[in-house]
Amino acid sequence: MADEFVTLTLGRVFRDFRQQVEALRDDILLEGAQVLRREEETSIRQRWFRTGATVNSPQEELIIDKSSKTYRLFPTATNKGAPYPTFGEYGTGRLGAQTGEPAPRGYRYGAGAGMAARRFSRIAVAQARPEIDRLAIEKVKQFVTVS
């Protein structure tokens, strides 16, 4: 048009940038979730009882809040209604309390001797984090290079 001074046409990356970034986020989240689940199962087998109840109990949840997404992995195995894997992570009774870790919400250390904590979940997260970080960095590099 004769009355336009300058016309600027943005490249593809800018036209759909938000959708592309959200797709990148989702891809990293889902692949990271697979890594975390694998490490959680391995850690349960190595550090907690080898029965199938706990290792087969983790449930996955994807929480979507506006434009953010959170992956949550949580065990559902119970012992008399109590969250059984919590016993492994935090211990029970006085032996569990000696770890110095505060009990999770809705859980308390009993007065009996109990058992010491058998950490598995925190170790799984620590094991998974470097691989998830590496995966995320690699995907971001590919995203920047391709876009």
Q: What pLDDT does 2 receive?
A: 62
Residues 6 or more apart whose CB falls under 8 angstroms from that of 141 comprise none
Q: What is the share, in percent, of the chain residues with pLDDT greater than 90?
A: 41
pLDDT of 1 over the 70 cut: no
b/e per residue 20-50 (b: at least 16 CB within 10 A): beeebeeebeeebbebbbebbbbbbeebbbe
pTM: predicted TM-score of the whole model, two decimal places: 0.76
List phi, psi (to 5°) of 83: -70, 95
Give the pLDDT of residue 37: 94
Q: Which residue has the higher pLDDT, 99 or 7?
A: 99
Residue 5 in domain: no
Average pLDDT for the chain: 86
Which pLDDT value is given to residue 52?
Answer: 78
Burial grade of 53 (CB within 10 A; 0-12, 13-18, 19 or more): middle
Q: Counting runs of H as helices and runs of E as strands, what totals does the chain give?
A: 6, 4
pLDDT-wise least confident of 34-38, 81-85, 93-97: 81-85
pLDDT (tens digit per residue) in 34-76? 999 999 999 998 888 767 778 888 899 999 998 889 999 988 8
Q: Is the pLDDT of residue 79 over 90?
A: no
Distance separating alpha carbons of residues 96 and 102, to the nearest angstrom: 10
Residue 110 lies in a domain: no
* In-domain check, residue 105: no
For residue 53, tell me if it sits in a domain.
yes
d(CA 77, CA 90): 15
pLDDT at 50: 67
H or E stretch at 65: strand 59-65
Range of the domain at 43: 12-79+120-146
Q: Which two tokens stand for residue 55?
A: 């290792």
Q: What is the number of structural domains in the chain?
A: 1
SS3 44: helix
- The span from the first CA to the last CA of the chain, in angstroms, equals 30
Asked if the structure places residue 102 within a domain, the reply is: no
Give a yes or no: residue 127 inside a domain. yes
pLDDT at 101 (0 to 100)? 83
